[in-house]
């Protein structure tokens, strides 16, 4: 297999589009089902998120008046493409694509693309709810990226290079513990789940940035969210859970760890109420900042 | 940290979600979906006239029958049709419409066949037997049955002939006196 075929396989099959879409929608189902059970409800069957996407794909798209058609259609496509590309380079078990120097930086950029697409979608659709959501998302992004970026940078500093392969093989040590805490702090906000479900606060601003989205573009946004969940969890597993050497055991640890993380985030979402954007911002700059400082300091000292 | 207790109780207890078929108990006096008995219906259209949401309609296109049509999706359960039906063909007994996405299950269509007038063969729908008993009380005379086999115009003629005969005697007698 030459490099092109390997990258194509990684982009389309595993861990890219198809594999991650299935896995991501399954994670979203786990989150919905667990939330429902924790709230005393029954919850949907496992195929519900798949049906939702398929149903949306079959609907006629209505572009809101005053919205730029090009932007309206391009944003969800870019969001899906960026997350799929991010998945292509993440070295999870079974990924045939090889790591290259600086792929961590590329991955960090690709992780931000769907967020930017959301912000732009909020403004493009000309809805006041979308604009409020976009503003909140922008502010929140400046908060959660403090611990998030610090965690990745600390691990890279510790490993001695911005390559995912180096990050995987480097020993985790005390840096890994601090960086993992910082990373975990950022996850609920990155996934827009409680208590940081501020940009998509449905009781306040309805569907947020996606309020005017419908049909296939909305399906693509849902898909990009599913891929984003997988990508973020993959990144956590790659950065902080060391490989044991055996491929089967690695795959098992990968799946179990991912599901555990989804369940943990869901449980936190079920037991907390939404914060205001100011409190969330302060939380990330104070507690996230502390975790970030601790992980960077540990990386520098080591 | 009371929330942990709440979450644990929710997780371990049976879900509060009800199944589709798991219908809640209806309150006393609940009217429910209307039921139509085509054997009592005379096609007078009173139900259609009083139905504000137009859930009831009649299809008169066919010359041999009239079709009573009802769509539960449009019904407001006001019960006016039940109140105004002169033959009590429409009743409500608190029955709920089926919980389904299939609209055809919410539609009812009953055909009421016409009979032909015994005299002029015009299509008619005679009054139901139960209503005749209410009107005439006791056993029905043959004359009542004879009248019901006639259309409105023929019945009127028969009635006026009867009245005239009562005053002037049967036709045969009158002919004899005039000649």
Tens digit of pLDDT per residue, chain A (302 long)? 688 888 888 888 888 888 889 999 999 999 999 999 999 899 999 999 999 999 999 999 988 888 888 988 999 999 999 999 999 888 888 788 887 888 889 999 999 999 999 999 988 888 889 899 999 999 999 999 999 999 999 988 888 888 888 888 888 888 889 999 999 999 999 998 888 888 887 778 887 788 888 889 999 999 999 999 999 998 999 888 888 888 889 889 989 999 999 999 999 999 998 889 999 999 999 999 999 999 999 988 87
Residue written as token pair 């520098």 = A300
* Beta-carbon separation of A37 and B11 below 8 A: yes
Same domain, B133 and B93: no
Q: Does a structural domain hold residue B99? A: yes
* Beta-carbon separation of A271 and B17 below 8 A: no
Domain boundary residue, one of B75, B95, B113: B113
Report phi then psi at A60, rounded to 5: -75, 140
Q: Is A49 buried (19+), middle (13-18) or exposed (0-12) by CB count in 10 A?
A: buried
Domain boundary residue, one of B66, B96, B113: B113
Q: What is the pTM of this model?
A: 0.72
Q: Which of A40, A43, A271 sits opposite B13 (nearest CB)?
A: A40
Give me the CATH number covering residue B69. Answer: 3.30.70.3270
Same domain, B32 and B85: yes
Task: Write the pLDDT tens digit of every residue in A176-216.
Answer: 899 999 999 999 999 988 888 888 877 788 877 888 888 89
Q: Does a structural domain hold residue B131? A: yes
Q: Which domain holds residue B100?
A: 27-113
* Beta-carbon separation of B16 and A41 below 8 A: yes
Distance CA B140, CA A241 (A): 94
Same domain, B37 and B94: yes
Pick the residue from chain A with its C-alpha nearest to B8: A38
- Mean per-residue pLDDT over chain A, rounded: 89
For A8, A195, A270, B4, the CA distances from A267, given in Å and listed in that order, are 36, 11, 5, 10
The neighbour count for residue B26, using CB atoms within 10 Å, is 12
* Beta-carbon separation of A37 and B15 below 8 A: yes
Name the token pair of B23: 């219908």
């Amino acid at each position: 297999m030459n490099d092109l075929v390997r990258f194509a396989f990684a982009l389309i099959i595993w861990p890219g589009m198809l594999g991650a879409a299935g896995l991501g929608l399954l994670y979203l189902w786990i989150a919905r089902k667990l939330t429902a059970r924790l709230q005393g409800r029954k919850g949907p069957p496992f195929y519900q998120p798949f049906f939702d996407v398929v149903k949306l794909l079959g609907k006629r798209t209505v572009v809101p008046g005053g919205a730029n058609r090009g932007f309206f259609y391009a944003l969800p496509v870019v969001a899906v493409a960026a997350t799929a590309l991010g998945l292509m380079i993440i070295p999870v078990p079974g990924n045939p694509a090889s790591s290259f120097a600086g792929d961590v930086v590329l991955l960090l950029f690709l992780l931000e693309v769907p967020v930017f697409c959301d912000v732009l979608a909020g403004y493009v659709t000309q809805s006041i709810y979308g604009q409020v959501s976009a503003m909140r998302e922008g502010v929140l992004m400046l908060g959660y990226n403090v611990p998030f970026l610090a965690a990745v940078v600390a691990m890279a500093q510790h490993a001695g290079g911005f390559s995912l392969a180096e990050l995987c093989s480097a020993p985790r040590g005390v840096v890994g513990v601090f960086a993992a805490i910082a990373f975990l702090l950022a996850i609920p906000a990155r996934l827009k789940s409680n208590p940081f479900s501020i940009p998509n606060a449905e009781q306040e601003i309805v569907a947020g940035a996606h309020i005017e989205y419908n049909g296939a573009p909305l399906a693509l946004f849902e898909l990009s969210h599913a891929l984003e969940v997988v990508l973020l969890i993959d990144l956590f597993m790659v950065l902080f859970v060391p490989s044991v050497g055996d491929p089967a055991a690695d795959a098992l640890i990968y799946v179990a760890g991912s599901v555990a993380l989804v369940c943990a985030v869901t449980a936190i979402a079920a037991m907390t109420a939404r914060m205001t954007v100011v409190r969330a911002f302060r939380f990330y700059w104070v507690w996230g900042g502390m975790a970030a400082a601790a992980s960077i300091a540990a990386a520098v000292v080591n | 940290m009371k929330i942990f207790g709440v979450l644990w109780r929710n997780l371990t207890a049976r879900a509060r979600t009800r199944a589709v078929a798991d219908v809640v108990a209806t309150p006393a006096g609940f009217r429910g979906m209307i039921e139509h008995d085509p054997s009592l219906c005379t096609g007078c259209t009173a139900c259609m006239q009083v139905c504000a949401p137009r859930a009831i309609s009649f299809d008169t296109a066919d010359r041999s029958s009239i079709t009573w049509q009802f769509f539960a999706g449009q019904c407001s359960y006001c019960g006016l049709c039940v109140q105004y039906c002169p033959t009590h063909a429409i009743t409500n007994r608190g029955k709920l419409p089926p919980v389904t996405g299939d609209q055809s299950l919410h539609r009812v269509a009953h055909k009421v066949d016409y009979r032909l007038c015994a005299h002029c063969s015009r299509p008619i729908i005679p009054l139901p037997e139960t209503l005749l008993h209410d009107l005439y009380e006791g056993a029905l005379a043959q004359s009542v049955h004879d009248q019901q086999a006639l259309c409105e115009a023929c019945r009127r003629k028969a009635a006026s002939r009867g009245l005239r005969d009562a005053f002037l005697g049967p036709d045969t007698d009158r002919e004899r006196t005039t000649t």
